[in-house]
Structure 1
Amino acid sequence: MREPSVGVPVPSRERSRPLTVLAPSRGRSRLLTVLVAAALAVTGCSGGDRGAGPAPAPGASTTAAATPGALPSLTVPTPVATTPLAGPIRLTAGMTRPGTRLRFGQKAIVPIRQYHPWRGFTEGTLGIVVERLQHVPATRVEGNFDASSRELLNRSTAYYVKIVITNESGNPMSLDVPRLDGVTRDGRSTDTALHGGELPGCEERGSPEPFGHRGATWVTCELWVSSAARPIERVVYREAPYGDANPAFDDARFNQHYRLGLITWA
C-alpha cells in the first residue's frame, strides 16, 4: 500500500489552486519501479564467488565444472538516446477539434506523443471515451492516512471515471495515462489534492502489453477528491495540442503551437 496524504482546504485568498502535501503520486512511478527492480536483480545475481560451487559429497564423482561464462546473467536495459523533437504535435483530419464539448460516453480522437526510456518516443492516435462521472463519500478512499487527512476525507467527496482508450493509428505504443482532470462546471480544479490512496474498483493502469494494433483497448480509471464547495461535474483532456506541453514528454518551446482549447466531457 502506498503512503498517501491528502491536501488541505485552501484559504479563501488562494482558491485559484489547491494546496498540496508532497507524497508518492498514483500510477506515475511504474517505470522507475521496474528500473529499480531490474537493478536489484542484477545486484543479487552478481554477489559471492561465481567460480565456487558446493563441495562434492564423499565418494561422489564429478564431471568437468561449468565455466563462469556458462552461468546465467542479467543486464539492466540501456536507455535509448533521445534526439531533439522535430516539431510540435499536430492535429490532422478526423481528429477532435480544440474546444469540443462531448457527452460522457462519446469518443474523442486525439494525437499522443510520449517518451519511454527503453523505446524512445512513441507517437500515434488514440480514441478516448470518458464514461459517466460517479461519486462516493471520500471516506471510501483507502490508505494509511493521518488523522488530519482522514478528517478532511470525512468532509469531502470522491469522484471517479472509467476511461476506455483505443489504438486508432495501429502502431505499437507504450503509454502512461494521458492527462485528464476533473473540474467544476466553471472549469475550476479540485480544492483538495490526493497523493496516493486507492478507491476499490478504480485502478489507474498504464497501457497493456501489447497495445500494438488498431482497435486494441485499454481501460483505466481516474480519481479525484473535492469538497462540497467545489463539486466536480466535468472532465477535461489537457494533453497537447489542446493544452500545454506535457513536461515529462514534450518541449515547452512548442507551447506557442499549443493551448488550442481543452476537450470537455459533461
Structure 2
Amino acid sequence: MTIDLHAHSTRSDGDVSPADLVRRAAAAGLTVVALTDHDTYAGIDDAAAALPSGLTLIPGVEISCDIKVDGQMQTAHLLVYLMNRWYQPLTATLASIRQARIERAQIMVGKITDAGYPLLWADVVTIAGTSTIGKPHIAQAMVNAGILTTVAEAYTPAWLDSGSPYYVPKWQPDIQDILPLVLEARGVPVLAHPRGKRGSPLDDHHLETLARAGLAGVEVDHPEHDAAARGELRGLAAELGLIVTGSSDFHGSRKPQGLGAETTSREAYKALVAATTGAKPIMA
C-alpha cells in the first residue's frame, strides 16, 4: 500500500479539482489518499464520485486553530480523518472559520485598494471560484492586476504577512476547543507539520498537552521536516502512544511536492482506521 494522508484541492488552497486529485493520486501509484481541504468537507463527495478503481479515499479536513507558543498565539493545523461530517457542532465551527476568512480577506483587499492599488474584490471572488477566499486568491489577483510579478512576493511582511500595513489577523478557534468537537464527531485528530517553516515549532510540552486532550497522531514525515525534526517527533510519538503519519501536503503547482512525496506506513494507516467509528474509508 502507498498511502498519502494530506492533500488539498480547489475547494481550499489547492489548484487541482477534487476529481482530478483522485485521478492524479491513482496515476501516481497511490492506493490510499486523504482529501484534507482547509476547514471544509466540500470536495469529498466530488472526489468520491470520481474515485478510480483501486484507490481508497479517506474523508478528511485540515482545521485552522490557535495555539499559544512562547506567550503568543499562532496557527496550528489539525488534520482530522474519518469524522462524522454531519455532526452539527463541528460543521458549524468550520463554517465560522470559513466566514472569518472571507471577512478578513475583504478587509485586507480594502486596505490595499485604499492605498491606491488597482485591486478589486470582484476579481478575488472570481479567482476563488468554489474555494473559500483566502490569501492565495488575493495574491493571484494582485499578480493579475500588475501589482506584483509573482504570487510569492505577496507572502512577505510588505504585503500579506504579519507586519504588513495590509495584514489582518484571522479568527480561528483554540485547538483545545476543537479537539473535543473532533472526538465527539468520532474523528481521528492528527497534528499537522508541527515543526514546519511557518511560526515557531511546537515543542514536546505542546504535544504532551494535546495528547492528554485526545490527539491521536502526529504528522512526522512531511516535506518541511528535516531529519532531526523527524527523529525527535518519532521518538516523542512513541513515548506518547501517538500514530505516526507521513504525507505530501499536496497543493498542486502551489507547492513543489507531488502526491506520494511522503507516505504513511500500512501499520499506521490501520491504526488510524481502527481508531474511529465516525466514517469508513471510501472505495470505488
Q: TM-score range by the shorter chain?
A: under 0.3
TM, length-normalised to structure 2: 0.21
Larger strand proportion, structure 1 or 2? 1
Larger Rg: 1
TM, length-normalised to structure 1: 0.22
